[in-house]
Each structure stands twice: as C-alpha cells, then as structure tokens.
C-alpha cells in the first residue's frame, strides 16, 4: 500500500506540531532507538506499530 502525500497534506500535518517538533520528525533516520519510549511498541511488541514502522 502506498500513501500519496500532497503539499496540502504536509502543510496540514505541519500545523499539528510546533515547528521545532516537526523539524525533528523530519530528521528521523529510522534507527529504532526510540522504541523503549514508545507506548504502542511496548504494549504490542510489533515493530510495524512503532514510530519506525509508522513512518
């Protein structure tokens, strides 16, 4: 499944976050070091439900 993002989608998403938070999200390199802090991953234990899996 492929998700299409339009310029409008990106701008709408950006409005949900403060600029600094959004910039940090864009810097994600999918390393998985945040898994220990992810409540969804801790509960389900499935990487596709982790931040790395959702990006």
Angle of the 7-16 helix axis to the 19-26 helix axis, nearest 10 = 120
Contact criterion met (CB below 8 Å) for 53 and 47 = yes
Residue 36 falls within a domain, yes or no?
yes
Per-residue model confidence (pLDDT) at position 2: 61
List the Cα angle 13/2/9 in 5-degree steps.
20
State which residues form the domain around 44.
7-54
Per-residue model confidence (pLDDT) at position 8: 58
Residue 11 falls within a domain, yes or no?
yes
| Total number of domains constituting the chain | 1
Per-residue model confidence (pLDDT) at position 30: 81
Per-residue model confidence (pLDDT) at position 3: 59
Span 3-55, pLDDT tens digits: 565 555 566 666 766 777 778 778 878 888 888 888 888 899 898 888 788 76
With tokens 């389900």, the residue in question is 44
pTM tops 0.85 = no
Residue 20 falls within a domain, yes or no?
yes
Per-residue model confidence (pLDDT) at position 26: 80
Residue 1 falls within a domain, yes or no?
no
Residue 2 falls within a domain, yes or no?
no
DSSP state of 24: H
């Amino acid at each position: 499944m492929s998700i299409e993002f339009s310029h409008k989608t990106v701008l709408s998403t950006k409005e949900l976050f403060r600029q600094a938070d959004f910039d940090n999200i864009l810097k994600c390199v999918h390393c998985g070091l945040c898994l220990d802090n992810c409540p969804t991953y801790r509960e389900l234990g499935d990487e596709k439900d982790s931040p790395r899996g959702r990006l």
